[in-house]
Amino acid sequence: MTGYDRYFTPDHDLVRRVAREWVTAEIIPHVNEWEEAAGFPRDLYARAAAIGLLGIGYPEAYGGTPGDLFMKIVAWEEVARCGSGGLGASLGSHDIALPPIVAFGTPEQRDRMLPAVLSGQSIAALAVTEPGGGSDVAGLRTTAVRDGDDYIVNGSKTFITSGVRADQFTVAVRTGGEGHHGISLLVIDADAPGFTRSGPLAKMGWWASDTAELFFDNCRVPAANLIGEENMGFYAIMENFQKERLQLSVGANINAELALEACLAYAAERRAFGKPLTGFQVLRHKLVDMATRVEVSREYTYRVAARMNAGEDQVTEVSMAKLFATEASDFVTNEAVQIFGGYGYMRGYLVERLYRDNRILTIGGGTTEVMKEIIAKRLL
Ligand SMILES: Cc1cc2nc3c(=O)[nH]c(=O)nc-3n(C[C@H](O)[C@H](O)[C@H](O)COP(=O)(O)OP(=O)(O)OC[C@H]3O[C@@H](n4cnc5c(N)ncnc54)[C@H](O)[C@@H]3O)c2cc1C
Instruction: Say whether 119 sits in a helix, a strand or coil.
Output: coil
Is the C-beta atom of 237 inside 6 A of ligand 1? no
pLDDT of residue 5: 86
pLDDT of residue 48: 98
Q: Residue 367 Cα, ligand 1 centroid: separation in angstroms?
A: 6
pLDDT tens across 334-344, in order?
A: 999 999 999 99
Q: If you take atom 44 of ligand 1, which residue's CA is the nearest one?
A: 369
> Of 206, 367, 377, which is best to mutate to test ligand 1, by the most ligand atoms within 8 angstroms of its C-beta?
367
> Of 95, 123, 159, 357, which is best to mutate to test ligand 1, by the most ligand atoms within 8 angstroms of its C-beta?
159
Query: Strands 195-197 and 271-272, how do they pair?
Result: unpaired
Computed over every residue of the chain, the mean pLDDT equals: 97
DSSP 26: H
Instruction: Determine the average pLDDT of the residues in 331-352.
Output: 98
63, pLDDT greater than 50: yes
pLDDT tens across 79-102, in order?
A: 999 999 999 999 999 999 999 999
pLDDT tens across 284-312, in order?
A: 999 999 999 999 999 999 999 999 999 99
DSSP 83: S
CB contact at 8 A, 113 and 101: yes
- Residue 1 — very low, low, confident or very high, per pLDDT cuts 50/70/90? very low
Atom index in ligand 1 nearest the CA of residue 136 equals 29
Calpha distance 23→78 (Å, rounded):
7
Q: If you take atom 52 of ligand 1, which residue's CA is the nearest one?
A: 159
List the end-to-end C-alpha distance of the chain, in Å, as a whole number.
40
Q: Which residues are catalytic?
A: 244
Q: In terms of Cα–Cα distance, which of 87, 4, 108 is closest to 39?
A: 87
pLDDT tens across 197-237, in order?
A: 999 999 999 999 999 999 999 999 999 999 999 999 999 99
Instruction: Determine the average pLDDT of the residues in 149-166.
Output: 98
Q: Residue 358 Cα, ligand 1 centroid: separation in angstroms?
A: 15
For CA atoms 311, 138, 362, 248, the dihedral sign is positive
4, pLDDT greater than 90: no
Q: Residue 159 Cα, ligand 1 centroid: separation in angstroms?
A: 9
